């Protein structure tokens, strides 16, 4: 008799993460949708995530829900508060009608922000000093968080997680990567502290671990609590994939239900995150001056990188070897062959962004046997589409509906 553990895992089989069971192994990754004008979730945002659910995805992730107004990086981002609850409930209800689960990515930008803080004289971070993002925002200095700040922002994460539960979400994703606040504690590039929150890796994870434990205590019996982090930062002086494996061990010990394995940093190593360079079209198609400036700087500093499927697999394997907990692979899976390879190597789920923006019904096509390879060309132009009136969309299809994007999700 064959050992069931040796049989290949079907991408269409259920997956249990914490208290949540997904209908299959496909997760739509968090990708800023540009569909919350003034911070208000729009009807187009609901349409976007409902299309992911209708297209067969097991769980769709709403990107960047700030846990406080100072946690935003840009003005048109959602803040988890009472005002957004009715709109978010419309979104989760729509996703549930299609049989999928909904996850809220809850986060704080720290010094990675283009907004002047309301509660502090300078943007908060793990350490004080020069703020690289300030070259674009004009805020050239950042402020080290005090113990009181640490406890307050941990409280903010707990409140955000509870509000996500009230809004009908099935999971929350703590963003610990890409250069946002929790990542600024994890990263040796940002964290220069000499107290209990700095120095060795265990200390640098102390604040993110505190947030994780408190969120688990608050909602972990009802919601899946997911952590997304950068396995490798892809920048000189940043942490490596070996560090990424050790980070996973700490998060496993603290009780995370699932890890989403990303990589790279928004400022230092954007090509590590996306697995390929940004084209010239991205720099000229955005009317947003911050986006245009960022893309211009990236064009001068980022190396030319050509896309290849499963571009993070070598790094992710080190994490898989280090922990037993559920892991979601993220990074260039865009064909049935690569999806089956990832699951065959012991990863529990496949997380996709650009592929599902290009083809929201890709999972249904795979299950029906009518498609194997995605139409996505990994051109990265969907990133700049976030700043268009209709929000994030694929350049191979129709742009988002600008009229829907201007209408609040709920009629209040």
Catalytically active residues, by annotation: 180
CA-only gyration radius of the chain, Å: 20
CA distance readout (Å), 222 to 21, 68, 209, 378: 12, 23, 19, 36
Helices (H) and strands (E) in the chain, counts: 17, 14
The residues, any chain, with a CB within 8 Å of residue 71's CB and separated by 6 or more, are 79, 107, 108, 109, 153, 156, 181
Residue ranges in 285-376 assigned as alpha helix (H) = 289-301, 313-322, 336-344, 354-358, 362-368
Q: CB under 8 Å, gap of 24 or more: what pairs does 242-245 form? A: 242/318, 243/201, 244/315, 244/318, 244/319, 245/318, 245/319, 245/321, 245/322, 245/323
| Other beta carbons within 10 Å of 207 | 26
Residue ranges in 18-119 assigned as alpha helix (H) = 43-54, 85-97
Backbone angles phi, psi at 188, to 5 degrees: -70, -15
Instruction: Find, among 226, 253, 203, 243, the residue nearest to 107 by Cα.
Output: 226
Q: CB under 8 Å, gap of 24 or more: what pairs does 193-198 form? A: 193/126, 193/127, 193/144, 197/126, 197/150, 198/126, 198/127
Task: Extract the tokens encoding 38.
Answer: 């003034």
Spatial distance between the Cα atoms of 30 and 275, rounded to a whole number of angstroms: 16
Q: Is residue 401 within 8 Å of 392, Cβ to Cβ?
A: no
Spatial distance between the Cα atoms of 274 and 330, rounded to a whole number of angstroms: 10
Q: Is residue 283 within 8 Å of 270, Cβ to Cβ?
A: no
Task: Extract the tokens encoding 70.
Answer: 């100072």
Helix (H, G, I), strand (E, B) or coil at 323: coil
């Amino acid at each position: 008799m064959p050992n069931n553990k040796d049989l290949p895992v079907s991408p269409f089989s259920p997956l249990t993460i914490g208290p949540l069971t997904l209908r299959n192994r496909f997760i739509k990754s968090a990708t800023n949708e540009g569909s919350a004008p003034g911070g208000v979730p729009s009807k187009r945002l609901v349409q976007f995530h409902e299309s992911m659910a209708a297209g067969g995805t097991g769980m769709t992730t709403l990107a960047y829900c700030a846990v406080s107004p100072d946690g935003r990086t840009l003005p048109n981002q959602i803040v988890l508060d009472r005002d957004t609850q009715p709109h978010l409930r419309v979104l989760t209800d729509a996703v549930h009608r299609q049989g999928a689960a909904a996850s809220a990515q809850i986060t704080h930008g720290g010094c990675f922000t283009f907004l002047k803080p309301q509660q502090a004289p300078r943007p908060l971070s793990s350490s004080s000093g020069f703020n690289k993002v300030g070259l674009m925002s004009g805020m050239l200095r950042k402020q080290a968080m005090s113990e009181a700040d640490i406890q307050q922002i941990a409280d903010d994460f707990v409140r955000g997680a509870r509000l996500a539960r009230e809004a009908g979400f099935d999971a929350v994703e703590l963003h610990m990567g890409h250069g946002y606040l929790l990542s600024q504690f994890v990263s040796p590039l940002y964290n220069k502290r000499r107290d209990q929150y700095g120095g060795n890796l265990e200390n640098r994870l102390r604040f993110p671990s505190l947030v994780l434990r408190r969120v688990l205590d608050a909602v972990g019996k009802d919601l899946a609590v997911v952590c997304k982090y950068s396995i490798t930062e892809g920048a000189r002086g940043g942490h490596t994939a070996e560090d990424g494996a050790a980070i996973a061990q700490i998060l496993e010990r603290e009780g995370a239900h699932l890890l989403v394995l990303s990589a790279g940093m928004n400022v230092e190593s954007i090509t590590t995150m996306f697995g390929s360079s940004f084209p010239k079209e991205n720099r000229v198609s955005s009317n947003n001056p911050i986006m245009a400036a960022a893309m211009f700087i990236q064009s001068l500093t980022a190396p030319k990188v050509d896309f290849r499927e499963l571009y993070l697999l070598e790094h992710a394997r080190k994490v898989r070897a280090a922990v037993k907990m559920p892991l979601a692979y993220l990074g260039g899976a865009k064909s049935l062959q690569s999806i089956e390879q990832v699951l065959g190597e012991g990863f529990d789920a496949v997380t996709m962004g650009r592929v599902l923006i290009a083809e929201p019904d890709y999972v249904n096509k795979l299950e029906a046997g009518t498609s194997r390879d995605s139409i996505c060309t990994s051109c990265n132009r969907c990133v700049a589409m976030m700043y268009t009136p209709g929000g994030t969309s694929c350049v191979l299809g129709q742009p988002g509906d600008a009229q829907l994007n201007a209408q609040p999700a709920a009629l209040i």
